[in-house]
A and B are shown apart, each in its own frame.
Chain A
Amino acid sequence: MTTAEHALVVRDLRKRYSQVEALKGISMTLPRGEIWGLLGPNGSGKSTFLKCVAGLVKPDGGEIQILGETPSRRTKAQIAFVPEVESLYRWMTVGQVLDFTAAFFDDWQPETALELLEFMHLDGKSRVSSLSKGMRTRLRLILALARRAPLVLLDEPFSGIDPSSRDRIVEGIIREFKGEEQTVLISTHAVGDTEQLFDSVVFLAEGRVALQGSAEELRRSRGRSINDLFKEVFP
């Protein structure tokens, strides 16, 4: 465990894919114990940013510090990353997926996984191939939340799923959020009914930070909800 004050510090992060400059110098500092929203339309750089932090994409420039350390195998083990692209084996049952995942992580909590299974209305005996997209997203969220990972990265967990799945996911994150010892960064292109989740928000526009701050302070100082603010920044 580390006692670093910040879960994530990013300075001037840059990434270019042949023709496209995906990240044009992103900086942010996430204190421990907070839930952050990474907000922006499709193509604003959210996924690339999360992949850089998760160590799946190598940035061209800038600096990343995870719990006070430069990215390494050790910091990778501290991150629970749920990518937007699905990575479940369709032939497995839900229970097998949990067992399979448990084997990879020292911080896996079997009891939490079972509680979450019930909470998310999933049956351990169902096959992944028989699940709807909303159910698969709920399952993938369990894989992240059943760990005691200090840094959780969720890429578009609310996209393309039914409202009741979305509500379960919002509530699941709130219930399982481990306070001081955890920091959660969630990307979304539609703020909708999720803004009450966030302590702070970062608006990404074309690879740059357009706005960032405490959600409550923004509500007060800008006189509008985060959802309305989002619509204003990205009309």
Chain B
Amino acid sequence: MDIDFSTSIPIYLQIISEFKRQIAIGQLKPGDRMPSQRDLAAELKVNANTVQRAYREMELLGLVETLRGQGTFVCRGEGVVEETRRELLDSLVAEFVAAMRSLGLGGQEALELVRKGFAETAAGKGVES
């Protein structure tokens, strides 16, 4: 996990985003055990209170649950993966749209570029394989 300490984004929020990303792409699956707070603090070299805050927040968000004496797990609840994925997609789209707008592009033009982009990478893959 890579955390950038040089930004203005609070560290606990960066930790949460990283776990959300891992859940969204299926690297962490419902029911998987999360690293212990102590281990994660040592690995990231961040204050244990910061990791604790991230875990507490993720519990409140319904992303993880802590079972007494067993550890913290990704929630098995329906839709956790779907919701996290959706949220990630929404924020990426919002960012993209804002960037396109700032360059003066409208929806149609942007869509054209996206289609072209997908076609090109698909073609690229075809050549490689």
Contact = CB atoms under 8 A, between A and B. Distances in A.
A170 B45 contact: yes
A174 B42 contact: yes
Interface residues of A, number: 26
Given A34-B49, A174-B41, A199-B47, A227 B11 contact: no
B7 interface: yes
Given A177-B48, A179-B48, A195 B8 contact: no
Contacts of B53: 216
B44 interface: yes
**A167, A174, A219 — which one has the most chain B CB atoms within 10 A of its CB?**
A174
- Max count, chain A CB within 10 A of own CB: residue among B8, B11, B38, B44: B8
A174 B49 contact: no
Interface string A196-233: 11110000000000000000110110111101100000
B8 A196 contact: no
A225 B48 contact: no
A196 B6 contact: no
Interface of B: 3, 5-12, 38, 41-42, 44-50, 53
Contact of A195 (B5, B42, B44, B48): B5
Interface SS, A side: helix
Contacts of A35: 47, 49
Nearest to A192: B5
Nearest to B42: A175
Interface in A61-104: none
A199 B49 contact: yes
Contact of B12 (A171, A216, A223, A224): A216
Given A196-B11, A196-B50, A216-B12, A225 B45 contact: no
A50 B3 CA distance: 31
A225 B42 contact: no
A228 B42 CA distance: 24
